[in-house]
Amino acid sequence: MDSEIESILDALSVAVFIVDADQTITYRNSASVSLFGTGLRNKKLSHFVPNKRCIRAVDDVLDGADRQSVDVRLQLVVPTSFRMTAVSLQKNATRDGASAVVSFEDVSHILEAEQMRTDFVANVSHELRSPLTALYGFIETLQGPARSDQQASDRFLQLMEREAARMARLIDDLLSLSKLQSEERYAPTEKVTINPILERIVASLEPILMKEQATVATDFGADLPDVFGNVDELTQVFANLIENAAKYSRPDAVIRVASRIDDKEPEMVRITVTDQGDGIAPKHIARLTERFYRIDKGRSRDKGGTGLGLAIVKHILMRHRGRLQIDSEQGTGSTFSVVLPCAR
């Protein structure tokens, strides 16, 4: 093969093979070696693609058919999805003299993204449908059996208000998430002082804390350096974490909110929210920031949760070039730590 063409093929991230009339590999580019390993030259394609549809498609091309594409999942080091495309290298050749170029494009990330999008749409529809179904139910009852029962009407209207508020919160959270995702690449550039933000949030959460019978004990580090941040977004982060600590703690629990320079990374500020709840099993911890992931759906719903709070926290912290750390001991409680780079 012409060395220029060979260099072009080696520059591609797609695995490219040339096979002869009996599907023996006569050429493979560099990407094919990284994906499938060495030692493939002079082997048959079926040696590492044990898939009848792929082999038939390549056969068809070698017999003169137009370009063929087949999606295939191959068991490499990890299962990987590929789009295989085969094209004949000759026009009007007999089968004996035929050869074909066969490429494998790794499409795993595209399929995963598509699956995530489908799951997300299904989740959003489900989450919106449940308060809506409840609202329809109450409307029907108010129009029928409860029409002249003032007490029942008042109670149903209150429940309807709660369901409508849940829908509104869900829509607000979805809009927040989508806005954050579109802005994630741009880190905030304003300097922000953390402790007054924390003080304001604790004061504003008083009604929720009273409802959940929780109190907050604060320990704010003196001379804490500023961080680069957006006040509204950081308010959303800490309010979410303190609200969660109150919602998922036992009654009369004390929530500790502290800020300090990080012990191990002096260029970072660490803000911790520690609760005295049931704690979180390790298998849940890694998934808590996924959208709509809840350990106990019923409990989250009773507390008016949307299942999006920690996903929003994660995205805000990514934009702030910070991170969230979750440590938990079952039966004792959890600590949610926000680590943010200092602005100095």
**What residues make contact with ligand ADP under the rule CB under 6 A?**
240, 244-245, 248, 275, 277, 280, 288, 294-296, 300, 305-311, 334
Yes or no: say if 321 and 207 are a contact pair by the CB < 8 Å rule: no
Yes or no: say if 57 and 84 are a contact pair by the CB < 8 Å rule: yes
Please identify the residue of the shown chain whose CB is closest to the bound ligand ADP.
Answer: 305
Q: Please give the DSSP secondary-structure letter assigned to residue 263.
A: S
Q: How far is the CB of 335 from ligand ADP (least distance, A)?
A: 9
Q: How far is the CB of 222 from ligand ADP (least distance, A)?
A: 27
How many angstroms separate the first and last alpha carbons of the chain?
57
Q: How far apart are alpha carbons 332 and 280 in whole angstroms? A: 10
Q: How far is the CB of 265 from ligand ADP (least distance, A)?
A: 24
Specify the residue, 28 or 291, whose C-beta has the smaller distance to ligand ADP: 291
Specify the residue, 7 or 330, whose C-beta has the smaller distance to ligand ADP: 330
Specify the residue, 63 or 302, whose C-beta has the smaller distance to ligand ADP: 302
Q: How far is the CB of 309 from ligand ADP (least distance, A)?
A: 3
Tokens (6 digits) for 220: 């704010």
Task: Name every residue whose Cβ is closer than 8 Å to that of residue 271 and which is 6 or more positions away in sequence.
Answer: 194, 198, 238, 257, 258, 259, 337, 338, 340
Tokens (6 digits) for 286: 């890694």
Task: Sort strands 254-261 and 215-220 into parallel, antiparallel or unpaired.
Answer: parallel
Q: How far is the CB of 244 from ligand ADP (least distance, A)?
A: 3
Specify the residue, 33 or 209, whose C-beta has the smaller distance to ligand ADP: 209
Specify the residue, 273 or 339, whose C-beta has the smaller distance to ligand ADP: 273
